Chains A and B, each alone.
Chain A
Amino acid sequence: MSEPVSGQGMGASVLRKEDRRFLLGKGRYTDDYLLPGQTHAVFVRSPHAHAKIRSIDARQALAAPGVLAVLTGEDAVADDLGGIPCGWTITNKDGSKMVAPPHPAMVKGSARHTGDPVAMVIAETRAQARDAAQLVEVDYDPLPAVAHLNAAVAEGAPKVWEEAPGNVCFDWHIGNAAATEAEFAQADRVISLDLTNNRVAPNAIEPRAANGNYDDVADRYTLYTTSQNPHLTRLLLAAYTLKVPEHKLRVVAPDVGGGFGSKIFHYAEELLVLWASKRVGRPVKWTSDRSEAFLSDAHGRDHVTHAELAVTADGKFRGLRVRTLANMGAYLSTFAPAIPTYLHATLLSGPYVIPAIYAEVKAIFTHTVPVDAVRGAGRPEATYLLERLVDKAARELGIDRVEIRRQNLIQPDQFPYQTPVALEYDIGDYPATLDMALAANDHGKFAERKAESETRGKLRGFGISTYIEACGIAPSALVGALGAGAGLYEAATVRVHPTGSVTVFTGSHSHGQGHETTFAQLVNERLGIPIENIEVVHGDTDRIPFGMGTYGSRSAAVGGSAIVKAMDKIVDKGKKIAAHLLEASVADVEFADGKYRVAGTDREKTFGEIAFTAYVPHNYPIETVEPGLEDSAFYDPKNFTFPGGCHLVEVEVDPETGVVEVVDVTIADDVGVIINPMIVDGQAHGGLAHGIGQALLEECVYDADGQLLSGSFMSYCMPRAADLPSFKVGNHVTACTHNPTGIKGVGEVGAIGVPPAVINAVLDALAPLGVTHIDMPATPEKVWRAIRAAAGGAA
């Protein structure tokens, strides 16, 4: 561990500037905005997973107290509202394009998942809208439905879309099939594994909300919404759904209480409140409740995978073959097709040298809520299958699970490393994080701990995962070539005020990440201004430059780099002003610690003096330098960044009940250069909780007919403090080589690295009983059944 850094710049654990308002309950979230004349919307949602809508009778609802309007899919079509677009197109193996069925904002004709919006009731109060929604009579003709992947691809399965035979959205592949076959043909052993990656709900603490206001004087729309990327929402509203030019649209994502990916996407409700506002002539607000969130937020994961690893007898990895079915749900959400493909299969090399890889991914429609990015988004699925497979290889070959990893890791001198699945890793030191984690865990004493657990009737298991991820998403040209409909740069404007304070306008969006603090630290580091004199503005398309928002652990690596580039321009301009004032040549002026100085002399001007001069240009190089001190930059990354590391987990299993308790989590990550260690630790902690939740507790359970059985916190189990041990978190830094900050990103590492470590630990604990496989979440009953089955009893 390094020494704590004092001050407010890079490496200092500065307390979060934003926490004062959050801790006082003074954050301003979308639902807190109450506009003059505010009305409230409640949606009537399909109770059936698949049903034809014969008719909708709104007469009773319209007559109910306070009701202003009841709108349906027919009305939306009549007003030419566009369908919700998918922002990523996948090309099939055969060169054809994926099936992209229509995604109406409100259904017309048929509902395709429970929760599909059928009608919208607008009333003076939320309670009135709720009551009236129950009076909307929808005549449904229920149709056969399918929710699960294996059922959806079976012969004769109910069809979600006529245009998608076999319910296949796309059939895609990556890697070199022939080279992989050749490796398998020569392999000493082939290790194979069938597994699922469980479907999870994002469950941000703040449910989604949207408040739309049409101003008929200005002929302009304003949307307050729970978004991770207000400009993307504005772009999609303008180009596809509301069809109103961007200068007529303002999208504000104010304080947002968590996103985890689920607030990236453009949702129908955002469009519908704007449209309804124009129709009723007043602002219209919708706020999801928790039950509605389970039925309308995009879910995550939901893969069924067959994977095979070709190995030599001494444990060298030679080839990897993966076949995955990925559930898309009933409609394609904004980035859905990219998740099981370019954010999943491109990660299958992990931190290992694997000479040949071939992966096939079939995306499947089902009568369920759309599936899209949730924290990690594809990378947890890749890491999970690879790390499970590596553990299985070690067991079948009789090699220590740590050693098989160590001997296959990409070595520090092999960077840049080109994988067989498109990515080129720029830098890392995987043996270092492996050793760091093992030392911090005191792994040598595991046997003692296991023996102690046994005295209490508990089976202790050790689990490991060495992982990488790709984040800092992403080079625009690359993602464009892969099918993205958008660029993935970031933008920043740095405005220096006359007295030397600074406002940063960023396209990144903070919904828990702490940008108001960390971005201010970047400015402090470069310009030497105290963070109290720096304001970070985000989330309002009328104030900030066009930016792409926050997801894929990209804010510090991409958004931070844009800020640094804008500051470079400011520092350079300041040099010209300082050179003039100091009567020196520009080349001789240096800038450090907030001061411009003529090199080798004590002649200097403070940054504040330069800022003042820029705005009061009496003595000024006016012929060559414009007044003012403000600049902008767009930063388009050259590559992904590649955080990686090693996660170790110890569990205790109660063999009588099947209860798994996580008793130790020790991780060593390389997330690149760190701005604020406290915030980085916090991100790691949150990610670990998320990952442990997926491994042991969380699952969206649909029955065969498409009813969501886990539709509340009474059945869907979120991890709580009591479910988690104190985490031991360490960092080993190798700086990203291709961005100006050296930052890689940290928001997702816990959710990516830890699930396989948990399951590997459970399987290690159960290995003496003969258990070799368990799927997530490893619930007590599942563990108990696995133990019984291994003992020869009924599963």
Chain B
Amino acid sequence: MRNFEFHRPASVADAVALLRGNDSAKLLAGGQSLLPIMKLDLAQPSDVVSLAGLAGADGLKEIRSEGGDLVIGALVTHHEVASSPEVRRRIPGLADLAGGIGDAQIRNRGTIGGSLAHADPAADYPAAVLALGATIVTDRRRIAADDYFTGLFSSALEADEIITAVRFPVPECAAYAKFPHPASKYAVVGVMVAKTGGGARVAVTGAGSKVFRVPAMESALAADFSTDAIRSVTVDPTGLRSGGEASPEYLAHLVTVMARRAVQACR
């Protein structure tokens, strides 16, 4: 780990100001992704801007219902999402997903905003955000989930932009089925399925360079929301992650299996 300047701003605006014009500054939320890569020198930020001083501000630590949506503040931890009665009542599949991230220590520190800003291709939250058609709220705008994830560890966020909340429309039902890596517990394949009045959305994390939807499954499920409807719907292995521990063929197979299990578990 390299030396860095540590900042603890008291407002979102102050945090943005610290990021502005400084390409090698990094935001620190729960630190569950940033600190491990700093430890290995894979990230060497000149400045670390901690959001710990913002906890009380702007609803960053709040979970609330607003106009039919479930709104989760960016600094809400995975454990808080998993154990929130509000999340459990409105989108139980989202609470289940949060309860399966990493391990207990990670869930106590890691935040939803931090996870989405990091945009790890094997993280769990991206599948929820994309399948539920959520909106990423930042200090300056709202970004639709479909426009947010742009590639491997990259998002539509500007360099000095800070996520403040995530707005989830409440589906009829949703569920996440995850095939975890036995060692890292990241998703080898994770599939979130959501059924809404307008149809169904299926989002896959882990298998590709970024989270992606599966239109063929979505249309099949829109017509018939059942496991049988997607039993023979497969994704093309050629687009999937290769050179890793799991082969593209196996990943493609797991996508279908996990999608079926998510449909089965949908509630």
Interface residues of A (CB under 8 A from B): 656-657, 697, 713-718, 723, 779-781, 784-785, 794
Contacts and interface: CB of A to CB of B under 8 A. Distances in A.
A610 B103 CA distance: 59
A717 B246 contact: no
A715 B179 contact: no
Given A657-B179, A781-B246, A781-B247, A714 B184 contact: yes
A715 B257 contact: no
A656 B183 contact: no
B15 interface: no
Contacts of B182: 697, 717, 723, 779
Contact of B183 (A714, A780, A794): A714
Contact of A717 (B179, B183, B249, B253): B183
Ranked 4 nearest A-B pairs via Cβ: A717-B183, A714-B184, A717-B182, A781-B250
Given A657-B179, A697-B182, A715 B245 contact: yes
Given A781-B247, A781-B250, A784-B250, A713 B183 contact: yes
Contacts of A718: 183
How large, as a class, is the contact surface on chain B? 10 to 19
Interface in B169-224: 179, 181-184
B253 to A, nearest CB: 7
Contacts of A697: 182-183
A714 B180 CA distance: 12
Contacts of B183: 697, 713-718
A593 B135 CA distance: 79
A781 B246 CA distance: 7
B27 to A, nearest CB: 23
B245 A657 contact: no
A654 B60 CA distance: 41
- Where chain A touches its partner, the secondary structure class is loop
B254 interface: yes
A716 B183 CA distance: 6
Contacts of A785: 250
Contacts of B254: 657
A109 to B, nearest CB: 29
7 contacts: A656-B257, A657-B179, A657-B257, A714-B183, A723-B182, A781-B247, A781-B250
A781 B247 CA distance: 8
A716 B184 CA distance: 9
Nearest to A714: B184
Given A713-B184, A715-B245, A784-B250, 13 more contacts: A656-B257, A657-B179, A657-B257, A713-B183, A715-B183, A715-B184, A780-B179, A781-B245, A781-B246, A781-B247, A781-B250, A785-B250, A794-B249
- Name, among B183, B246, B247, B253, the residue most crowded by chain A CB atoms within 10 Å (CB to CB): B183
A173 to B, nearest CB: 37
Contacts of B257: 656-657
Contacts of A784: 250, 253
Contacts of B181: 714
Contacts of A723: 182
Contacts of A656: 257
- Name, among B179, B182, B245, B250, the residue most crowded by chain A CB atoms within 10 Å (CB to CB): B182
A715 B246 CA distance: 11
A785 B184 CA distance: 22
Interface in B230-259: 245-247, 249-250, 253-254, 257
Contacts of B250: 781, 784-785
B206 to A, nearest CB: 13
A721 B87 CA distance: 30
A322 to B, nearest CB: 31
A654 B184 CA distance: 21
A697 B250 CA distance: 18
Contacts of B184: 713-715
B146 to A, nearest CB: 29
Contacts of A715: 183-184, 245
